[in-house]
Amino acid sequence: MTTTAAVEATGLVKEFGRFRAVDGIDLEVRQGEVFGVLGPNGAGKTTALRMLATLLPIDAGRARVFGVDVAREAHRVRQLIGITGQFASVDEDLTATENLWMFGRLQGLRSGDARASARRLLEQFGLEEAADRPISQFSGGMRRRLDLAASLITRPPLIFLDEPTTGLDPRTRGQMWDTIRGLVAEGCTVLLTTQYLDEADQLADRIAVIDRGRKVAEGTPEELKASVGDSTLQLRLAPGADVEVARQVVRRVAGTEPVLTPESGRMNVPLETADRAADVLIAFRQAGVSIISVSVAQPTLDEVFLAITGHGAESEHEATDDNAATTKTKLDTTTKTKLEV
Amino acid sequence: MSTLTADVTPAPNFALRPVDPAAAVAATRAHISVGETLSQTLIMAWRALKKMRRNLEQFMDVTVQPLLFTAMFAYLFGGAVSGDVHSYLPLLIPGIVAQTVLTTCMATGVQLREDMEKGVFDRFKALPMARIAPLAGPMIADLVRYVIAAGLTFVTGLIIGYRPGGGVFGVLGAVLLAVLTGWSLAWIFTWVGTIAKSAKSVQGMSMLILFPLTFLSNAFVPVSTLPGWLAAFVKVNPVSHLVSATRDLANQGVVSAEAGWTLLACLGVILVFAPLSVRSYRKQL
Ligand SMILES: Nc1ncnc2c1ncn2[C@@H]1O[C@H](COP(=O)(O)OP(=O)(O)OP(=O)(O)O)[C@@H](O)[C@H]1O
Ligand SMILES: [Mg+2]
């Protein structure tokens, strides 16, 4: 028996003026999976998600949620989804309990049931102690959790999460991951966006990589990482070291193209296996290229991007320095395993 | 280190029945019922009332304005218009009632716009709820503000010597009419709230609507003192009808034809602006 896809989108387009934020994206999310949409700032992740969640009109293409047309039967689609946006969408002037009670009531729960479900969710998300505090006193992480709780009141079968862990500390992030896994165990389907390959890797069954409004790759995390090698050697060349020589050494020894990151002297080398790092380092010494620091890490989104698109992950539109800097820090936080020599 | 673990959040436990997508799809309904619309509107009204209680400074306009304007206008224009303050009051008080209630409407639009810019509206939009509820809910809560505005004006009037000939029932009727009219006209400002780009521009646009409506009426001066062309406008201005109807109620205790015209105008405004507001709110998705 074939089941309908949780999300089936073909040729999605969204234009803001003459700018195409989403430029013909196809997505198929199967029931019961976690599907990750990965992309840098401005790639069009939020825009695509908002179209699927009936929050933005679809300019071209079509989308269905469990077989229900998003454009034509928005009201029915809204009964099947929960959405937690990139920015918290709870009422700042109400307390946590009041928020959950209100959203429950708005979705047809009786007052008593709404109160019970609010209590259950607050407990589930570790917010009981803050239950009667106004949201304006919540920390960012608490807000995020409450926001997610508010999306789960009617236990919708499909949940959209827009960058659910951006801005969370590592522990809260881990909790969020557990929560998402719990949702899937319950039978929910999750469509999430993220800027971290690491997160997509941890959570997603399948990933679509989006860049400048287009889907540039799709596959399991393993498939994506395999396209850039298993690990990355991150080097910092000494001032004055010859970048061109270094590049040639890498080509010869590792057989791959090094990625020069924007900071001067930094070079990332995709490796098939982490063992090859030593070969590259020895060849560097022989060629007289001196190095300040070395680490071996999992491939970052940067490398996946470079491998797939031929350019770095920094967005070009809205490429203010500020934005590029944030992207960079975020990408750098992917789990690093320091090479122990 | 042990303090670190003290506030660790318990792992979520999902011990409920599993989610069944097929059943969920089968349970979806294509349309929203009238009952649901009503109950959602009331919940949105509840939300607006909660917010009011937590932001009491929002009541500044409906408390200060009636006090200030009533006293100010009475002593400023009383002598000039009616010879003395006391005989000006029966003319003035109903005028101020109309004016404060209209100003209060304006705040409805501004607050809606401010509210709509908040993140929580994203959730309202993503929920399967009636599109009119987020608009009509706050308006119902605003009835409180209209009652305060109209009531306080009468009270201020009484304090400075106004003795309404219509008695208690006349005054209550006048308050009721003013509140109803305010609520109806608020739809215009709600619509402005849904089309404007920012709360500031709502304010600006509303002023443009409000000033001619309140000042080019019989609210503060008898029509007989006006030049012909202005008198013509003043006579068709719905605010004039409201003011006249309020005067008849408060001063004579009679429900005049003016009340009928006022209610008719209100109905017209609702029929035009409620659908317009919902349409433009829908479009904002
Ligand atoms: N309402 C809008 N009007 C005009 N342009 C918009 C609008 N919303 C988004 N854009 C543009 O569309 C592009 C995609 O934006 P979107 O928010 O979907 O990116 P994103 O992938 O979610 O990025 P981020 O990781 O920063 O959240 C951006 O260039 C953005 O400037
Ligand atoms: Mg986004």
User: What percent of chain A stands above pLDDT 90?
Assistant: 40
User: What percent of chain A stands above pLDDT 70?
Assistant: 87
A27 and A127: one domain? yes
Question: Is pLDDT above 50 for A316?
Answer: no
Smallest Cβ distance to A80: which of B18, B24, B55? B24
Ligand nearest, relative to CA of residue A41: 1
**Residues of chain B contacting A178 with CB distance shorter than 8 Å:** 11-12
What is the per-residue pLDDT for B49? 92
Question: Is pLDDT above 50 for B5?
Answer: no
Rounded average pLDDT over A112-126: 91
User: Per the domain annotation, does A49 fall within a domain?
Assistant: yes
Closest residue CA from atom 11 of ligand 1? A21
A136 and A150: one domain? yes
Q: How far is CA B76 from the centre of its chain?
A: 28
Per-residue model confidence as pLDDT tens digits over B46-102: 999 999 888 888 888 788 888 888 888 888 887 777 778 777 888 888 888 888 888
What is the per-residue pLDDT for A263? 67
A209 and A108: one domain? yes
Whether the CB of A182 is below 8 Å from some CB of chain B: the reply is yes
Sheet strands side by side (includes A336-337) = A259-260, A266-271, A231-237, A291-297, A336-337
Q: Domain with A242 in it: what CATH number? A: 3.30.70.100
User: Per the domain annotation, does A90 fall within a domain?
Assistant: yes
Spatial distance between the Cα atoms of A217 and A214, rounded to a whole number of angstroms: 9
Binning pLDDT at 50, 70 and 90, where does residue A173 land?
A: confident
Q: In the block, which residue shows the tokens 């300040």? A: A292
Angle between helix B133-159 and B85-116 (nearest 10): 160
User: Per the domain annotation, does A307 fall within a domain?
Assistant: no
How many A from CA of A132 to the centre of ligand 1?
35
Spatial distance between the Cα atoms of A22 and A2, rounded to a whole number of angstroms: 30
A169 and A282: one domain? no
Three-state DSSP at A102 gives helix
Question: Is pLDDT above 60 for B107?
Answer: yes
Split into its structural domains, chain A has a count of 2
Within 6 A (CB) of ligand 1 lie A 16, 21, 39, 41-47, 86, 195, 317-318
Smallest Cβ distance to A175: which of B9, B32, B122? B9
Tell me the residue type at A283. Answer: A
Instruction: Record the tokens describing residue A150, joined without a space.
Output: 């508010």
Spatial distance between the Cα atoms of B262 and B162, rounded to a whole number of angstroms: 24
Stretch (H or E) spanning A303: helix A301-309
Q: What is the DSSP string of A255-286?
A: -S--EE-SSTTEEEEEESSTTHHHHHHHHHHH
User: Per the domain annotation, does A325 fall within a domain?
Assistant: yes
**In this structure, what are the phi and psi dihedrals at residue A279, rounded to the nearest 5 degrees?**
-60, -45
Q: In the block, which residue shows the tokens 């063992």? A: A275
How many A from CA of A22 to the centre of ligand 1?
9
Question: Is pLDDT above 50 for A333?
Answer: no
A218 and A259: one domain? no
Cα dihedral A286, A287, A288, A294 sign: negative
ipTM higher than the 0.90 cut: no
A202 and A267: one domain? no
Per-residue model confidence as pLDDT tens digits over A36-86: 999 888 899 999 999 999 999 999 999 999 999 999 999 999 999 999 988
How many A from CA of B256 to the centre of ligand 2?
59
Spatial distance between the Cα atoms of B123 and A83, rounded to a whole number of angstroms: 8
How many A from CA of A321 to the centre of ligand 1?
17
Q: Domain with A141 in it: what CATH number? A: 3.40.50.300
Rounded average pLDDT over A15-24: 91
A259 or A105: which leads in pLDDT: A105
Q: What is the DSSP string of B20-34?
A: -HHHHHHH--SS--H
A308 or B10: which leads in pLDDT: A308
User: Per the domain annotation, does A115 fall within a domain?
Assistant: yes
Tell me the nearest-neighbour CA distance from A31 into chain B, angstroms.
8
Q: In the block, which residue shows the tokens 């010869």? A: A252
Rounded average pLDDT over A142-152: 91
Instruction: Record the tokens describing residue B184, joined without a space.
Output: 């109806």
How many A from CA of A212 to the centre of ligand 1?
10
Binning pLDDT at 50, 70 and 90, where does residue B213 land?
A: confident
A150 and A259: one domain? no
User: Per the domain annotation, does A308 fall within a domain?
Assistant: no
A216 and A245: one domain? no
A38 and A124: one domain? yes
User: Per the domain annotation, does A303 fall within a domain?
Assistant: no
Question: Is pLDDT above 60 for A332?
Answer: no
Instruction: Record the tokens describing residue A126, joined without a space.
Output: 């570790």
**Residues of chain A contacting B10 with CB distance shorter than 8 Å:** 123, 126
Tell me the residue type at A215. Answer: K
Three-state DSSP at A214 gives strand
Spatial distance between the Cα atoms of A230 and A223, rounded to a whole number of angstroms: 10
**Residues of chain B contacting A185 with CB distance shorter than 8 Å:** 14
Per-residue model confidence as pLDDT tens digits over A121-135: 999 888 989 899 888
A155 and A37: one domain? yes
A111 and A203: one domain? yes
Mutate to test the pocket of ligand 1, among A12, A46, A59, A326 (most ligand atoms within 8 A of CB): A46
Which domain range does residue A207 map to?
Answer: 7-224+317-340
What is the per-residue pLDDT for B135? 92
A254 and A144: one domain? no
**Interface residues of chain B, partner chain A, Cβ below 8 Å:** 8-14, 16, 18-22, 24-25, 27-32, 36, 39-40, 43, 46-47, 50-51, 54-55, 118-129, 133, 285
Tell me the nearest-neighbour CA distance from A298 into chain B, angstroms.
28
User: Per the domain annotation, does A117 fall within a domain?
Assistant: yes
Q: What is the 3-state secondary structure (H, E, C) of A22-91?
A: EEEEEEEECCCCEEEEECCCCCCHHHHHHHHCCCCCCCEEEEEECCEECCCCHHHHHCCEEEECCCCCCC
